[in-house]
C-alpha cells in the first residue's frame, strides 16, 4: 500500500536493511526510506519511490550507508568510581576471582555507587552513554547491580532512565540485584536471595522501574538454585528474565535460562552442548560479550559454531562495566566479535541491531522495513563490513530516532 506522503524522505542512500534474505546485509543500492511520524513507512530503491508521494522534508544522503539504529543490549554503565587500580593488580598476576574474594571487584563499585547521590552517579555515567550514543546507539539496556539494596538499586535504575531522556537514547532497564553478595549479607547468600525475591523485585516492579530481571549465575555469584528463585519471583510479577550464564565456568546457566524462557543468556564461554540445544528450542538469544573475554584474557571461546549450526540468534554488546569491560564503543565490540569469536561482519552487525533488539524482547526495531520504528543511523563508509573492520574511529554521520532527526551531518 502506498502512503499518501512522507514526513521525511531519506534518499541517495545505500541501505543495510538487515532483513533476512538472499542479499548480504539485506542491502539495497540507491535506496530510499520514507518516514511517517515515528515509524518507517516505505523502504526501497529510489527509482521505485511512488510519484504521487510527496515528502514534507527530504534529506539527501550523498551515497552514505544507512543501517538500523544500533542496539547495545547488555551494559552496566551506571556506576560510580573507577577500578583502574584492579587493572594494574591483574597485570601483576591477581585474578578477577582473587580480587572479588578480597572485597574488591563488584563490591568496590557497590561502595562507590551507594555513596554517590543521583546527581553524582548521573554525572559520572553520562559520558559513557554519550560515547555510545555518538556512535549511533539508539537503544541501550542498562542494568543495576551496584546498589544491592532496594533504595540504591532504584537510584541506579532511575538515573539510567533519566540519562536516556537527556541524551536521546531509548533506555531499557534491568534489575540485577543478584549480581554479588553485599557485605551486610556476608556468608548468608540465601538470606540475600530471600530479600531480593521478597522485597527488591516486588518494590522495583511496583515502581515500574525495570523492564527485566537478570542474575549472575557463577561460582563467585549465585548458584543455579538461587538463580531459579530469582527467576520465579520475577516471572510471578510478569518481568522477563535474562542471565549472566557460564561466563567463568560451566554451571549449566544457559540451559537454566532457556528453561525459564529467558530473553537472552549472556557471555556463554563455558556453555555446553546441552545448553546450546536448550537455547535453540527456547529461542533464547545468545549475547556475546567480547570486551569481557578480551579484558579477562579468557581463552575459552563461546560455542559460536554450535550456535550457528543450531540457529541460535547471536547478539553482540559492550557489557560496559568498570571491572571486566570498560568499553564505550559498540563498533569496537563488532571488530572483536569477528577477530576473537570469528563472527562474520554481517553477523556482528546483525548482532548489534536486529538480534540485539530480540535480546531485549523488542520486535519493533532492528531492521529497516515498513512498520519498524524509524531508528536509523548514517555512516561514512564504503561498505557495511567497514563497521566491524575498523578499530577505533567513528564514521557515524547522523542519527534519526523515532522519526526525529537527532543529528545529521550535511
Contact 71, 353 (CB under 8 A): yes
Stretches 65-73, 278-286, 319-327, 369-377: which one binds Fe ion (CB under 5 A)?
Answer: 319-327
How far is the CA of 6 from the CAs of 31, 34, 403, in angstroms? 15, 6, 11
Examine residue 240 and tell whether it contacts ligand DI6 (CB under 6 A).
no
- Cell 541491531 sits at which residue? 353
Residue 269 interacts with Fe ion (CB under 5 A): yes or no: no
Measured between alpha carbons, how far is 228 from 178 in angstroms, rounded to an integer? 11
Shortest distance in whole angstroms from residue 78 CB to ligand DI6: 12
Using CB positions, name the residue nearest to ligand DI6. 323
State which of residues 319, 346, 347, 375 lies at the interface with Fe ion (CB under 5 A): 319
DSSP E strands in 24-132: the ranges are 27-36, 39-45, 58-60, 65-68, 70-72
Taking residues 75 to 114 in sequence order and writing x for each that binds ligand DI6 by CB under 6 A, - otherwise, the string is: -x----------------------------xx--x-----
Binders of Fe ion among residues 12 to 31 (CB under 5 A) are none
Minimum distance from CB of 47 to ligand DI6 (Å)? 48
* Residue 247 binding partner per list Fe ion, ligand DI6, none, with a CB distance cut-off of 5 to 8 Å that depends on partner kind: ligand DI6
**Which residues touch 391 (CB under 8 Å, ≥6 apart)?**
332, 335
Establish if 244 lies at the interface with ligand DI6 (CB under 6 A): yes
Give the burial class of 117: count Cβ atoms within 10 A of its Cβ; 0-12 exposed, 13-18 middle, 19 or more buried. exposed
Contacted by 271, from Fe ion, ligand DI6, none: CB < 5 to 8 Å by type? none
Closest CA to 204 of 267, 258, 243, 160: 160
Contact between 72 and 318 under an 8 Å Cβ cutoff? The reply is yes
Nearer to Fe ion, 153 or 319 (CB): 319
Q: Of 63-71, 131-139, 276-284, 317-325, which segment contacts Fe ion by CB under 5 A?
A: 317-325
Which residue from 122, 114, 234, 129 is spatially nearest to 178, judged by alpha carbons? 234
Q: How far is residue 250's CA from residue 185's CA, in Å, rounded to a whole number? A: 25
Assess contact for 401 and 168: CB atoms under 8 A: yes
Closest separation in Å from C-beta 358 to ligand DI6 = 21
Chain residue whose CB lies nearest Fe ion: 319
Kindly state whether residue 247 participates in binding ligand DI6, applying the rule CB under 6 A: yes
Mask: binding to Fe ion, 218-237, rule CB under 5 A, as x and -? --------------------
Q: Under rule CB under 6 A, which residues in 309-348 are in contact with ligand DI6?
A: 319, 321-324
Distance of CA 410 to the CA centre of its chain: 29
DSSP summary character for residue 23: S
| Contacted entry of Fe ion, ligand DI6, none for residue 149, CB cut-off 5 to 8 Å set by kind | none
Kindly list the residues in this chain that would bind ligand DI6 in the complex (CB under 6 A): 76, 105-106, 109, 179, 216, 244, 247, 292, 319, 321-324
Kindly list the residues in this chain that would bind Fe ion in the complex (CB under 5 A): 319
Amino acid at each position: 500500500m502506498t502512503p499518501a506522503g512522507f514526513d521525511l524522505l531519506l534518499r541517495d542512500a545505500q541501505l543495510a536493511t538487515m532483513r533476512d534474505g538472499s542479499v548480504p546485509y539485506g542491502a539495497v543500492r540507491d535506496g530510499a526510506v520514507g518516514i511517517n511520524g515515528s515509524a518507517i513507512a516505505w523502504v526501497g530503491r529510489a527509482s521505485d519511490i511512488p510519484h504521487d508521494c510527496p515528502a514534507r522534508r527530504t534529506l539527501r544522503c550523498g551515497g552514505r550507508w544507512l543501517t538500523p539504529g544500533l542496539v547495545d543490549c547488555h551494559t552496566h554503565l551506571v556506576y560510580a568510581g573507577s577500578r583502574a587500580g584492579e587493572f594494574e593488580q591483574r597485570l601483576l598476576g591477581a585474578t578477577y576471582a582473587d580480587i572479588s574474594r578480597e572485597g574488591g571487584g563488584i563490591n568496590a563499585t557497590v561502595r562507590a555507587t551507594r555513596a554517590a547521590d543521583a546527581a553524582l552517579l548521573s554525572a559520572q555515567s553520562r559520558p559513557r552513554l554519550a560515547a555510545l550514543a555518538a556512535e549511533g546507539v539508539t537503544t541501550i539496556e542498562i542494568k543495576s547491580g551496584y546498589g544491592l539494596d532496594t533504595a540504591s538499586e532504584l537510584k541506579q535504575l532511575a538515573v539510567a532512565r533519566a540519562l536516556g531522556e537527556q541524551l536521546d537514547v531509548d533506555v531499557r532497564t534491568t534489575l540485577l540485584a543478584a549480581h554479588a553478595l553485599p557485605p551486610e549479607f556476608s556468608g548468608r547468600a540465601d538470606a540475600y536471595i530471600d530479600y531480593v525475591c521478597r522485597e527488591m523485585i516486588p518494590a522495583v516492579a511496583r515502581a515500574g522501574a525495570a523492564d527485566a530481571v537478570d542474575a549472575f549465575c557463577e561460582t563467585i555469584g549465585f548458584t543455579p538454585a538461587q538463580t531459579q528463585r530469582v527467576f520465579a519471583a520475577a516471572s510471578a510479577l510478569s518481568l522477563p528474565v535474562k542471565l549472566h550464564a557460564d561466563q567463568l565456568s560451566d554451571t549449566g546457566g544457559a540451559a537454566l535460562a532457556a528453561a525459564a524462557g529467558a530473553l537472552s543468556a549472556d557471555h556463554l564461554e563455558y556453555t555446553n552442548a546441552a545448553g546450546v540445544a536448550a537455547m535453540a528450542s527456547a529461542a533464547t538469544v545468545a549475547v556475546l560479550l567480547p570486551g569481557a573475554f578480551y579484558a579477562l584474557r579468557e581463552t575459552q571461546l563461546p560455542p559460536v559454531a554450535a550456535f550457528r549450526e543450531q540457529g541460535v540468534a547471536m547478539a553482540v554488546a559492550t557489557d560496559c562495566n568498570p571491572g571486566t569491560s570498560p568499553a564505550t564503543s559498540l563498533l569496537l565490540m563488532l571488530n572483536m566479535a569477528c577477530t576473537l569469536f570469528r563472527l562474520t561482519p554481517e553477523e556482528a552487525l546483525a548482532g548489534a541491531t536486529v538480534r540485539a533488539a530480540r535480546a531485549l524482547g523488542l520486535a519493533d526495531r532492528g531492521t529497516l522495513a515498513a512498520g519498524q520504528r524509524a531508528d536509523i543511523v548514517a555512516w561514512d563508509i564504503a561498505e557495511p563490513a567497514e563497521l566491524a573492520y575498523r578499530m577505533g574511529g567513528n564514521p557515524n554521520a547522523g542519527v534519526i530516532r523515532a522519526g526525529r532527526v537527532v543529528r545529521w551531518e550535511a
